[in-house]
Structure 1
Amino acid sequence: MKHTQLGEFEELVLLVVGSLHQNAYSISIKNELQDKTSRKPSIGALHSALNRLEKKGFINSHEGGATSERGGRRKRFYEITAFGRKALDQSYELRSSLYHTLPQVNYVGD
């Protein structure tokens, strides 16, 4: 399997897509990012990240049914792939291993 690096924002988006499971669509992803990270990503930045993640094979998307509450428009739903989960696992392992190399000392400002 080819290893592809995740940027920080891509990693956060991928984590949120995975955590929302079958309810991952643009607005729910944006709202969850805001709630969990206090960031306010633009919808354009979010769509760019989602497109990159899909192009890399980390997520798949499909359109849901049209609803009257959305004026007959469809929602695009996203789901994490096995490759995306593997990328998150690798990222987690790398960050954890680096974190555990920090010495137990008092740091400036303690």
Structure 2
Amino acid sequence: MANKKSYLGEFEHLVLLSILHLGDEAYGVTVRRYLKDSIDREVSIGAIYTTVERFEKKGFITSKKGGATAERGGKAKRYFTVTALGVSSLQDTRIRLEKMWCKLPVIAGLGD
């Protein structure tokens, strides 16, 4: 049974998947852009950072600062990496969603 600590909502699921897809290039702006490009979802940068803060507290990701750059006004990028716990949570969420979809009767084109 999933608890609040490991349960992923839709947006959380999407952010973790984006970080995995981006690999070494996963930081706030690229995650935001990836969501826009891949699923056409506009997301504020604040929503991204609120979510990754929560992920770090739960142990789903780690982050590290890159070097400061002049084009960013001397500010460093904060890069994200999904941990084994984060991957496990993604897998658990996927399994639960697939179970729900598989049990759905064929109604209006949904289900098997």
Do the two structures share a fold, i.e. TM-score over 0.5? yes
Q: SS where residue 75 of structure 1 aligns?
A: strand
Quote the Cα distance in structure 2 between the aligned partners of 1:4 and 1:96. Answer: 17
What fraction of aligned residue pairs are identical, expressed as a percent?
Answer: 41
Residue 100 (structure 1) aligned to one of 83, 99, 102: 102
TM-score (norm 1): 0.88
Mind listing any 5+ residue stretches in structure 1 that lack a counterpart? none
TM-score (norm 2): 0.87
Matches within 5 A, 1:1-110: 4-104=6-106, 106-107=107-108
Quote the Cα distance in structure 2 between the aligned partners of 1:78 and 1:30. Answer: 13
Mind listing any 5+ residue stretches in structure 2 that lack a counterpart? none
Aligned residue-pair number: 106
Q: SS where residue 8 of structure 2 aligns?
A: coil
Q: Deviations over 1:41-76 (max 9, x none)?
A: 111111101111111110000001122332322100
Amino acid at match of 2:7: Q
Q: CA-atom RMSD, angstroms?
A: 1.6
Larger RCO: 1 or 2 (CA < 8 Å, sep 6+):
1
